[in-house]
Amino acid sequence: MRITNIELAGGVEDGQALPRAFAKISRKQGDEYITVELLTPGGDHTHHVGADDRDDQWSMAQILQHALDGYEGANSEINDYMRIIEQLAD
C-alpha cells in the first residue's frame, strides 16, 4: 500500500461556517518532491518539499501548523504535521 494524497482542513473560528484553511499534500510515484497546496483566505500557495529533506519537511510542517491551527504552535504540535508529511516522504 502507498499513500499518494492527504487532505487537511484547519480549525473553524467562532461564528464561521468553514475552516480557516485547507491543505492538499501529494506525491506522484517517482517524484523527488512532495507537493503541498495551501488554500487560505489570503490566497492559494503551492510548495514543493524535498521528499528526502527533513529540514525542508519540518519547515513545511511549521507553515501547515500555523496556517491550519491559526497560531504558532509548540514543537509537539508541529510534529503532528511532520508525521503527516512523513507519510509521503522517502
15-52 pLDDT, tens per residue? 888 899 999 999 999 999 999 999 998 899 999 999 99
What per-residue confidence (pLDDT) applies to 61? 98
pLDDT band at 13 (very low <50, low <70, confident <90, very high): confident
What per-residue confidence (pLDDT) applies to 41? 87
What per-residue confidence (pLDDT) applies to 1? 84
What is the Cα–Cα distance from 54 to 25, expressed in whole angstroms? 16
What is the Cα–Cα distance from 51 to 32, expressed in whole angstroms? 6
Please say whether the beta carbons of 72 and 25 come within 8 A: no
Please provide the average confidence, as pLDDT, over all residues in the chain: 95
Average pLDDT (2-22) is 91
Please say whether the beta carbons of 8 and 23 come within 8 A: yes
What is the percentage of the chain residues whose pLDDT exceeds 90? 86
Dihedral over Cα of 55, 58, 64, 65: its sign: negative
